[in-house]
């Protein structure tokens, strides 16, 4: 069991606020992502959970017990660093055994435990090999083996795949997730890669400028972004934002933006003021029936879909449509938007209207 509760936790470095008051709960067994751009405070948050930094204020609980001020050695949390440092002069078995031997575990028990972990990771056949000659993937597995052999309550991982090339990274991401599903240990994972967070995470905290912008499942964060920052950060190409002034008229299935005759979803009826109309590229449709006209600027072919860049009366936007539809740069097309997929934001705060 390892539930982690972060409650009103704040971290200052001198006058600088690295993490503003943050609260979230990581349930037992969750693969939990801390996502955000460089410098937003995600590593500091992870380090506070592991005990490598102490919070300036607020509390952290592990299974109901407060651990905020305890040293890392008294937290039973394993930290997996980006640079998987192995002991180069030891073979694989010795590298994985090391944490148990230094705990004083008897030899026979160490041997059995290491064999078990090697079995889980699929590296039994290289246990007696020197680590020097191993492939990148095997080195990662050995390093993971060293982290999991202690059976900590939870794992902290700081961009563990950051140094790998794209293809291998994807493979290791799948392996890590599969390993997690087999072991079921609570894992907190820092990344700036939104795709990685969406693919691997059960829950995601999106941070920006030391603040939590949103906390939820990948689907909640993608479909119901709480702020324009989240809507922009998640998804590729990112959400389209069009300035939207005027009063919202009664709803229908598809939205047509045109002067003051727009039909938009029920939830936005009556919304008024200085707003931003947000719609993802896959919810923009080309339609002869629509009087909302846009000029095709470019079309980028991606095999099954294509990304069309359009100049609308409200600004430039992108549509992801079927690759078999014919669109020619320079032509004028009508546009419609799926009403259930539209988010309206308040321009002054960037917050979504709910």
Residues that bind ligand ATP (CB under 6 A): 13, 16, 18, 36, 38-44, 192
CA distances from residue 196 to 89, 136, 218, 279 in whole angstroms, order as listed: 33, 19, 11, 22
Nearer to ligand ATP, 13 or 87 (CB): 13
Task: List the beta strands (DSSP E) in the chain.
Answer: 4-13, 16-26, 31-35, 57-62, 65-66, 77-80, 154-158, 186-191, 203-208, 211-216, 240-245, 254-255, 274-279, 284-286, 293-301, 305-312, 315-322, 332-338, 343-346
Residues 6+ apart with CB under 8 A from 254: 263, 285, 287, 336, 337, 338, 339
Nearer to ligand ATP, 36 or 225 (CB): 36
Half-sphere exposure of 266 (CA within 13 A, CB side): 1
Nearer to ligand ATP, 177 or 192 (CB): 192
Nearer to ligand ATP, 190 or 255 (CB): 190
Nearer to ligand ATP, 40 or 126 (CB): 40
CA distance 305 to 327: 12
Q: Please state the closest distance from residue 44 (CB atom) to ligand ATP, in A.
A: 3
Q: Please state the closest distance from residue 40 (CB atom) to ligand ATP, in A.
A: 4
Task: List the beta strands (DSSP E) in 27-137.
Answer: 31-35, 57-62, 65-66, 77-80
Q: Please state the closest distance from residue 81 (CB atom) to ligand ATP, in A.
A: 12
Nearer to ligand ATP, 234 or 255 (CB): 234
Ranked by CB distance to ligand ATP, the top (closest) residue is 43
Q: Please state the closest distance from residue 140 (CB atom) to ligand ATP, in A.
A: 20
Which of 226, 224, 223, 220 lies closest to 207 in space, CA to CA?
A: 226
Q: Please state the closest distance from residue 233 (CB atom) to ligand ATP, in A.
A: 13
Q: Please state the closest distance from residue 312 (CB atom) to ligand ATP, in A.
A: 35
CA distance 279 to 186: 34
Q: Are 285 and 318 in contact (CB under 8 A)?
A: no
Q: Please state the closest distance from residue 232 (CB atom) to ligand ATP, in A.
A: 17
Q: Please state the closest distance from residue 306 (CB atom) to ligand ATP, in A.
A: 33
Nearer to ligand ATP, 36 or 201 (CB): 36
CA distances from residue 25 to 20, 32, 265, 322 in whole angstroms, order as listed: 16, 10, 33, 40
DSSP for 254-265 reads EEB--TT--B--
Phi, psi of 326 (to 5 degrees): -95, 120
Q: Please state the closest distance from residue 160 (CB atom) to ligand ATP, in A.
A: 13
Nearer to ligand ATP, 2 or 18 (CB): 18
Q: How far apart are the first and last CA of the chain?
A: 35
Q: Are 189 and 198 in contact (CB under 8 A)?
A: no
Nearer to ligand ATP, 169 or 293 (CB): 169
């Amino acid at each position: 069991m390892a539930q982690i509760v972060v409650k009103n936790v704040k971290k200052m470095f001198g006058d600088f606020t690295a993490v503003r008051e943050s609260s979230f709960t990581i349930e037992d067994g969750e693969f939990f992502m801390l996502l955000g751009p460089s410098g937003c405070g995600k590593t500091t948050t992870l380090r506070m959970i592991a005990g490598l930094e102490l919070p300036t204020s607020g509390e952290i609980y592990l299974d109901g017990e407060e651990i905020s001020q305890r040293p890392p050695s008294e937290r039973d949390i394993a930290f997996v660093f980006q640079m998987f440092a192995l002991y180069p002069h030891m073979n694989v078995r010795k590298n994985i055994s090391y944490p148990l031997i230094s705990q004083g575990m008897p030899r026979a028990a160490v041997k059995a435990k290491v064999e078990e972990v090697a079995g889980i990771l699929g590296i039994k056949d290289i246990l007696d090999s020197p680590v020097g000659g191993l492939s990148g993937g095997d080195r990662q597995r050995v390093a993971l083996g060293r982290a999991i052999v202690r059976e900590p309550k939870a794992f902290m991982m700081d961009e563990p795949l950051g140094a790998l090339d794209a293809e291998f990274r994807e493979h290791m991401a799948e392996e890590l997730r599969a390993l997690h599903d087999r072991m079921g240990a609570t894992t907190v994972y820092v990344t700036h890669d939104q795709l990685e967070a969406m693919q691997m995470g059960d829950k995601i905290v999106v941070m920006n400028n030391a603040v939590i912008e949103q906390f939820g499942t990948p689907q909640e964060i993608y479909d119901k972004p709480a702020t324009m920052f989240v809507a922009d950060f998640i998804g590729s190409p990112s959400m389209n934002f069009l300035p939207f002034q005027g009063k919202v008229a009664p709803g229908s299935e598809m939205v047509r933006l045109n002067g003051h005759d727009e039909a938009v979803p029920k939830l936005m009826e009556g919304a008024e003021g200085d707003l931003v109309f947000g719609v993802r590229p896959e919810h923009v449709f080309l339609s002869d029936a629509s009087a909302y006209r846009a000029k095709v600027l470019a079309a980028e072919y991606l095999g099954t879909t294509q990304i069309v860049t359009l100049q609308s009366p409200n600004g430039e936007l992108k549509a992801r449509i079927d690759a078999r539809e014919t669109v020619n740069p320079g032509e004028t097309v009508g546009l419609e938007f799926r009403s259930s997929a539209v988010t309206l934001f308040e321009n002054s705060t960037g917050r979504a209207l709910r």
